[in-house]
A and B are shown apart, each in its own frame.
Chain A
Amino acid sequence: MTTLACDVAIVGAGPAGLSAAVHAADAGLNVALVDAGTQPGGQYWRHPDESHPVPDEGEGHHGWREFTDLRSRLYAHETTGTLTYLRGTQVWLIEPARPAGVVLRLAPATDPAPAAGTVTARHVILCPGGYDRQLPIPGWDLPGVMAAGGVQALLKGNRTAAGRVAVVAGTGPFLLPVATGLAHAGVKVAAICEANSPTGWLRNAGGAVRAPAKALEGVEYATALARHRIPYKIRTAVTAIHGTDRVESVTLSRVDAHGTAIAGTQRTVACDVVALGWGFTPQLELVLAAGAETTVDVDGSLIAVVDDRLASTAPGVTVAGEATGVGGAPMAVLEGELAALCVSEALGVAAAPGGPASEGRIRALQRDRARLHRFAVAMHRANPVPANWQDWLTPETLVCRCEEVTHGALCDAHTELGAADARTLKSFGRPGMGWCQGRVCGFAVSEIAARFANRPTSADDLRSMAKRSLAAPVTLGQLAALDFDDVHEG
């Protein structure tokens, strides 16, 4: 049972949270770092169990030296007691404290023991990260179909290959490391299917050329694709997945610029793994639960509204990393530092002796952030979710995997019951009401609702699918043990 009071609580130990925690502790703040994982790095720097060291710990990683530097500083702060690192811990409730500050209620991520607790902080920095955005495809519920990030997590964290023959599909640059990672692990990658066309890059080159590290990564991947003879198919999508009790094959279709499958281009490819990713969805439930304003980003994701010091509209709540707009790990690390410096200034804590003058550093970080943001926008514009993806659906296609809600059932909720927005669709059809609480189908249901109503997807559609009364599943015992009177004392 944890009952902790601190200057700043940071939620998430991925690139943004790890960076925020280290820089906040460097600045002299008393820090609590809460993370669902058992070790730092988040999804991007997921690595094998540190208690069983392997010689090639950073294999397949980018920015690994930056990570190990941040990690050793984190552990050093933990040793001196400047920082408390709550591993394997999820926040299931965020509430304002009185007279000021924020209370986080905790639950263990895996251990069923009811070792919950609270952290009360003067300020909180939410760095929840994101996960692969998904579009439902006929057959996507078959075992062997995985999120691209899940396939990557098996490789990076466990050194486990998800199967023998893989098709990697969706859109965006993340498909490349997943495919090359699989090939490196001995998996035959039958195809990478990129729904968009890389010529999209040319139109947005102004943003792209300002991030040369990314261009270098591109060359690396091109070399790896050639070496492993991985076919990279543009304007191609997996439009159906086949099998009885597991994946056996996929249908690949050539698609036009709007994602409409071109008749006569279909072909079947045998595989036992399908890795799917359509960009990323930021994890917004704590942002929403904190009462902070949200908006729709260029990529169609719901994100937190923040100012140039990363303060959200909720008092005492700063947001950093993918939740302010999907921008990749370097931008997340930068935002973590920016958030930590701005919060330490706001709390009236001087920068560490010998450290950089805070205001000057803040301005430099803000400039770099603007540059990385332009790059992210260019990426998003080059890799949109195809406008006509819903044409791939059949009435039997599951949209909500948890509640087993089909596209046909959603069509009925619209035509028979008049549902024309995500919230109503959710009430009538139950998508997003199961175990994952709409994390997986939320984007798709929002788009489906918008198409029914013949209008663009709105922030309200996305919000109604992203709002969760509890941010993580808790036992009834944990709910019952709540003493609501103690909430406002801390």
Chain B
Amino acid sequence: MPELSLTFDGAPLSARPGQTVGAALTDAGVVAWRTTRNAGRPRGLFCGIGVCFDCLIMVDGVANQRACLTPARGGMELRSGRETEAPE
């Protein structure tokens, strides 16, 4: 099956079709892609099923997407970053 080509902070990242962005990053050995608002601590996947919102990532310019739920697509641009406020 042909691999998909994405980028993470500008560097190439490959994914298998059907994988989530979070799984593709895990396969590439990346375990964290954002830092917390207060202590600046690294975060990545935790619950893995869309409950905890730890794995938020910027996808094609849209902030706060859950990496564990977002399907990887060819050409996707992923960006790490700092957490923003939760919606009240």
Contacts and interface: CB of A to CB of B under 8 A. Distances in A.
A73 B54 CA distance: 36
Contacts of B42: 142-143, 245-246
Instruction: Give the interface residue-count category, chain B.
Output: 35 or more
A437 B23 CA distance: 24
Given A144-B31, A158-B23, A160-B27, A109 B50 contact: yes
B46 A157 contact: no
A278 interface: no
A112 B65 contact: yes
Chain A CB count within 10 A is highest, among B36, B41, B52, B54, for: B52
A154 B20 CA distance: 9
19 contacts: A49-B18, A49-B19, A49-B71, A109-B50, A109-B69, A110-B69, A143-B32, A147-B47, A160-B27, A245-B32, A246-B32, A283-B51, A401-B52, A402-B53, A404-B36, A404-B37, A404-B39, A436-B51, A474-B87
Interface of B: 1, 16-20, 22-23, 26-27, 31-32, 36-39, 41-54, 56, 62, 65-66, 68-71, 86-87
B69 to A, nearest CB: 5
**Majority-rule SS of A interface residues:** loop
Interface residues of A, number: 49
Contacts of B32: 143, 245-246
A27 to B, nearest CB: 30
Given A160-B23, A473-B86, A473-B87, A151 B31 contact: no
Contact of A154 (B1, B23, B87): B23
A132 B47 contact: yes
Contact of B43 (A109, A132, A141, A151): A141
Interface string A28-66: 000000001010000100001101100000000000000
B62 A151 contact: no
Residue among B27, B56, B87 with max Cβ neighbours from chain A (10 Å): B87
Interface of A: 36, 38, 43, 48-49, 51-52, 109-110, 112, 131-132, 141-147, 149-154, 157-162, 245-246, 283, 401-402, 404, 433-437, 439-440, 470, 473-476
Contacts of B50: 36, 109
For the complex of A and B, the 7 pairs showing the least CB-CB separation, nearest first, are: A150-B48, A49-B18, A158-B23, A435-B53, A143-B31, A160-B23, A143-B32
